[in-house]
Amino acid sequence: MGGCLAGIGLDLARETSVRDSSSAISSGIQDALRRADVLVISGGLGPTSDDLTRDVLAEITGSAIVTNSDALENIRVRCERASREITASRARQALVLEAAEILPNSVGMAPGEWIEREGKILIALPGPPREFHAVLTEQVLPRLKKRYPDAAICESAFQLCGIAESDFVDALQVAGFAPVRMEFACCASPAHLDIRLRGPLDATAEIASASELVRRVAGRHLVTDSTRSIESVVVEQLGLLGKTVAVVESCTGGLIGGRITSVSGSSNVFIGGVIAYSNEVKSRHLGVRENTLARFGAVSEETVREMAAGIRKRFGSDIGLAVTGIAGPGGGTPGKPVGLVWIAADTEIRAASESFRMTGERDVLREAAVQMALDLLRRSL
């Protein structure tokens, strides 16, 4: 929600979580209304006994609770499609505040509600993330943009991979980056940086100049100058070039394939993959030589190159992508510590391989390995 609001020039001032009790919800809402002009409430509109938000809102606003015919029809249609009965609990999701404007839910049963009271706007949205996002983007944001036209902004977004946040910020400062009429935000996750530049519309020229500086400093680490994910960029590149990829994963256990196939259209470019966790699978099914495994080990440049070549030949893809590493917390040695990862991309023309070392928990290391492998694929393309 914060990201969506920032995109139309509104700031998320505070996020508060409360337990499912009428008193906690009521005090949370009333406290927020003393501070904010717009309050978005998530959850508590469903069919169960702990869905209390509508009742609390009715008490606070003095509005009656009624059954909305459009919401009830939406529930009927969805139940019919799923061969389910309209039970009393499902029908309960059509209950709304009489004073509310109904916000249709295109992906679920409970609608959102827009309530204006004493100069304040209360927006009640369903809690399930998919439904929350659908009602927010399709119904709430257009209304807020219309209500606050002067909040319009100019914004640039960038996705980077393989550079530490502190290193990138230091490099920007050395290059003379000094934002004046814009906000600079840098959000880090394993092997990934999300960069945002944001300011008023009359600062468009300054943001454009700053954006060019960001691109220049980012160099090969720049994945895209948008909010798109690296996997969507890779799938698009593969499609434009008419190329296919197959993956073989050890320490990531199928996460790379999962990321690629999460993108619509990936079936046109993704052949398939193998989770080669044991050395036996690496040698028997991918053609990694036993001598290579014995001499260099499973986590080595030699092995990962043979894994990438093996998966490409076995699956008949244009590119083979491979990853092997030590995700921990055990298994490390002085020569090959926990966090060491090797990745490789292989084509008929050439092969590229890289290693890196990350620190952190097992899931963090695996996420970083996925990100770096996808980035090597992107750069190879």
Q: What is the pLDDT of residues 117-146, one digit of tens each?
A: 999 999 999 999 999 999 999 999 999 999
Contact 370, 256 (CB under 8 A): yes
**CATH hierarchy code of domain 152-224:** 3.30.70.2860
Q: Output the pLDDT for position 11.
A: 87
* Band of pLDDT at residue 107, cut at 50, 70 and 90: very high
Query: What gap in Å lies between CA 134 and CA 345, rounded to an integer?
Result: 37
Which of 110-114, 227-231, 244-248, 328-332 is the least confident region? Answer: 328-332
pTM: predicted TM-score of the whole model, two decimal places: 0.82
Q: Output the pLDDT for position 3.
A: 85
Mean pLDDT score, 298-302: 97
Which residues on neighbouring strands pair with residue 356, listed in sequence order? 341
Contact 196, 373 (CB under 8 A): no
- Angle made by CA atoms 241, 245, 249, in degrees to the nearest 5: 150
Q: Output the pLDDT for position 123.
A: 97
Please name the residue that has the structure tokens 């990962």: 304
Phi-psi group of 20: left, alpha or beta (phi > 0 → left; psi -120 to 50 → alpha; rest → beta): beta
Amino acid making up residue 277? Y
Mean residue pLDDT of the chain comes to 95
pLDDT at 241 over 90: yes
- Angle made by CA atoms 370, 375, 377, in degrees to the nearest 5: 100
Q: Output the pLDDT for position 120.
A: 94
Fold of 230-380: Maf protein (3.90.950)
Q: Output the pLDDT for position 7.
A: 85
131-187 pLDDT, tens digit each: 999 999 999 999 999 999 988 899 999 999 999 999 999 999 999 998 888 999 999
* Band of pLDDT at residue 6, cut at 50, 70 and 90: confident
Q: Which of 299, 189, 310, 291 is nearest to 248 (CA)?
A: 310
Mean pLDDT score, 245-252: 97
Task: Name residues whose C-beta falls within 8 Å of residue 316's C-beta, 6 or more positions apart in sequence.
Answer: 271
Which residues on neighbouring strands pair with residue 123, listed in sequence order? 40, 114
For residue 372, what is the enclosing H or E element?
helix 362-380
Which residues on neighbouring strands pair with residue 222, listed in sequence order? 160
3-state helix, strand, coil split of the chain in percent (to 5) is 45, 25, 30
Domains of the chain, by residue range, sit at 2-150, 152-224, 230-380
**CATH hierarchy code of domain 2-150:** 3.40.980.10
Please name the residue that has the structure tokens 């069919």: 47
For 115, which DSSP code? E
Residue 46 has φ and ψ, to the nearest 5°, of -85, -160
pLDDT at 92 over 90: yes
56-90 pLDDT, tens digit each: 999 999 999 999 999 999 999 999 999 999 999 99
